[in-house]
């Protein structure tokens, strides 16, 4: 089951293209979306030093049928937008690929992460091209849901992520094993044992998934 990441260039005709390229430092995070035949409704989280001019720019667009400010606090605003041009979502609908949220739009580019079948992913690429939408396929990974769930125990994941956040895997190393153990409030030997098991599980998974070296077991 492929999981893919695509970066898609927004069509020039869309309001979000013009607004996001006019404010390239602003992040538009789409938390939910309802596509239709002639309209698309989405809830967006806008993060900017001053969201007010951005909201005004959206409201001025002819292809925005309605704009509702749902919530605002400091540099973040949550709004619901109803747009009359759903062309960006048409290829998704044509290919039958479920839309995953949230996704991010910045400076005229939307980033989608999708989990679907290989056939539907291929159909999405064809549909994007047929609709004149340029895109880049950043990666395609084959996901085994059962393996992903069983890869690490909760404790192994906690220790591994703590080591990662502390800088244990940085080059040069920013934290020692003692530092990681201290952050977790466990003994150095316990930390080492759990971390070693986590690293072993990750190493075997990587070899099987990307190197095809099942014999290393």
Q: Return the pLDDT at 140.
A: 84
pLDDT in tens, 184-197: 999 999 999 999 98
Q: Return the pLDDT at 214.
A: 42
pLDDT in tens, 132-152: 999 999 888 776 555 545 678
pLDDT range class, residue 153, cuts 50, 70, 90: confident
Q: What angle do CA 169, 172, 173 make, to 5 degrees?
A: 45
Task: Give the residue among 22, 209, 172, 186 at the shortest CA–CA distance from 107.
Answer: 22
Predicted TM-score (pTM) of this structure: 0.66
Task: Give the residue among 79, 97, 75 at the shortest CA–CA distance from 8.
Answer: 97
Q: Where do the domains of the chain lie?
A: 2-143, 146-216
CB 168 within 8 A of CB 175: yes
pLDDT in tens, 12-52: 999 999 999 999 999 999 999 998 888 999 999 998 888 88
Across the beta sheet with 40-47, the strand order is 64-73, 76-83, 40-47, 27-35, 103-106, 109-115, 2-9, 135-142
Percentage of the chain exceeding pLDDT 70: 91
């Amino acid at each position: 089951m492929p999981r893919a990441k695509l970066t898609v260039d927004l069509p020039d005709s869309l309001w979000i293209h013009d607004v996001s390229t006019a404010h390239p430092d602003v992040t538009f995070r789409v938390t939910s979306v309802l596509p239709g035949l002639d309209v698309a409704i989405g809830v967006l989280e806008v993060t900017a030093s001053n969201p007010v001019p951005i909201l005004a720019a959206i409201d001025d667009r002819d292809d925005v049928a309605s704009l509702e400010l749902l919530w605002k606090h400091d540099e973040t605003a949550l709004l619901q937008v109803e747009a009359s041009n759903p062309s960006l979502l048409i290829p998704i609908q044509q290919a039958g690929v479920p839309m995953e949220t949230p996704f991010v739009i910045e400076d005229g580019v939307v980033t989608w992460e999708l989990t679907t079948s290989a056939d539907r992913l291929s159909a999405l690429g064809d549909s994007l091209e047929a609709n004149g939408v340029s895109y880049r396929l950043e990666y395609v990974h084959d996901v085994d849901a059962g393996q992903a769930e069983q890869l690490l125990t909760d404790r192994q994941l906690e220790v591994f992520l703590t080591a990662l956040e502390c800088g244990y895997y940085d080059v040069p190393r920013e934290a020692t094993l003692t530092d990681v153990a201290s952050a977790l409030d466990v003994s150095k030997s316990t930390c080492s044992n759990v971390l070693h098991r986590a690293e072993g599980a990750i190493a075997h998974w990587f070899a099987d998934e990307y190197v095809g070296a099942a014999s290393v077991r």
